[in-house]
């Protein structure tokens, strides 16, 4: 039995998958808390993508991860009947639609936080009417400005306001928020590229063609992509965004498992062909 096939390894793997599933609720709770400030008039159907982009994204990725786990590890070749294959491919197609929709939501969020105007005439937060304004603590996190906290939020004398919303922030805070929004966009885009390469790997492996130049090119591209994802995780960790850091770390570990599945699948195919080549 290989290390990856051992019971402790499998328990660890599925514990990671369980934590990723839990993150769906965590992101939903975070985004729901921000909705009141970001959409004071309420959410319409056209706002769902922007308001819950991380929740939609995480849900779709968890389903997609499980589809890859089924195809690359759980199911044997004999299980791949036409109905099973069509079901797996159909579910993956729906996941890709949701992932692309969520990516659009990240772009919308980035554009939203980038669109600010000078908050002229105010140099002291404590002069604002209590309860009428919110402070952008970080990307997607807002705090009502009150007499009790106004002096602690910022010592700046110049502020910007998000267009059409009663949410303000100082210039330094706005720069950090925009950077975090861009990291979300880049991270989501890189993950889409990763899964495209992985889909190609799986299709090639199904036909025993994941060899030579194709294998080398796949590994080289994925090395660069995974490095970018690792840097995004480090950035979130440095900025103190534990939820995003933890989520990014878990996803990297989860896709290491999928890569190992493909590696073992390829090794098994080679082992099966050896007697034929020697006959």
Please answer whether residues 100 and 192 qualify as being in contact, where contact means their C-beta atoms are separated by less than 8 angstroms: yes
Q: Alpha-carbon torsion 96, 98, 102, 105, what sign? A: positive
pTM > 0.95: yes or no: no
pLDDT band at 110 (very low <50, low <70, confident <90, very high): very high
76: left (phi over 0), alpha (psi -120 to 50) or beta: beta
Q: What average pLDDT does this structure show over 178-198?
A: 94
Q: What is the pLDDT of residue 275?
A: 58
Is residue 219 classed as helix, strand or coil in its secondary structure?
helix
At residue 227's C-alpha, the angle toward residues 197 and 177, to 5°, is 105
Q: What average pLDDT does this structure show over 109-114?
A: 92
Read off the pLDDT of residues 132-171 as tens digits, 9 standing for 90 and up. Answer: 899 999 988 889 999 899 889 998 989 999 987 889 999 9
pLDDT band at 270 (very low <50, low <70, confident <90, very high): low
Rounded to whole angstroms, the Cα distance separating 177 from 220 reads 32
Q: What is the pLDDT of residue 279?
A: 44
Phi and psi at residue 266, to the nearest 5°: -65, -40
Phi and psi at residue 208, to the nearest 5°: 55, 40
| Domain definitions of the chain by residue range | 3-115+174-278, 116-173
User: Alpha carbon of 102 to those of 91, 139, 166, 179, 245: distances in Å?
Assistant: 16, 17, 25, 18, 19
Rounded to whole angstroms, the Cα distance separating 65 from 146 reads 44
In residues, how long is the chain? 279
């Amino acid at each position: 039995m290989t290390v990856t096939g051992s019971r402790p390894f499998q328990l660890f793997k599925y514990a990671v998958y369980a934590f990723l599933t839990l993150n769906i609720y965590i992101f939903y709770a975070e985004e729901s808390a921000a909705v009141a400030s970001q959409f004071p008039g309420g959410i319409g159907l056209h706002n769902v993508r922007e308001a819950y982009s991380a929740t939609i994204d995480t849900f779709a990725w968890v389903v997609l991860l499980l589809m890859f786990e089924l195809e690359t590890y759980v199911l044997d070749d004999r299980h791949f009947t036409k109905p099973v294959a069509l079901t797996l491919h159909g579910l993956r197609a729906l996941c890709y639609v949701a992932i692309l929709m969520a990516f659009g939501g990240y772009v919308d969020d980035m554009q939203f936080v980038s669109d600010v105007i000078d908050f002229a005439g105010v140099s002291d937060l404590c002069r604002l009417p209590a309860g009428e304004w919110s402070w952008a603590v970080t990307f997607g996190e807002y705090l009502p400005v009150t007499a009790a906290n106004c002096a602690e939020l910022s010592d700046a004398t110049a502020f910007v306001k998000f267009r059409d919303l009663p949410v303000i922030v100082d210039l330094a805070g706005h720069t950090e928020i925009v950077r975090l929004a861009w990291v979300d966009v880049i991270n989501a885009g890189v993950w889409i590229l990763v899964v495209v390469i992985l889909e190609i790997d799986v299709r090639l492996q199904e036909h025993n063609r994941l060899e030579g130049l194709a294998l080398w090119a796949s590994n080289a591209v994925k090395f660069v992509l995974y490095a970018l994802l690792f840097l995004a995780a480090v950035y979130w960790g440095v900025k103190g965004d534990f939820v995003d850091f933890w989520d990014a770390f878990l996803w990297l570990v989860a896709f290491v498992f999928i890569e190992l599945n493909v590696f073992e699948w390829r090794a098994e195919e080679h082992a099966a062909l050896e007697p034929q080549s020697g006959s």
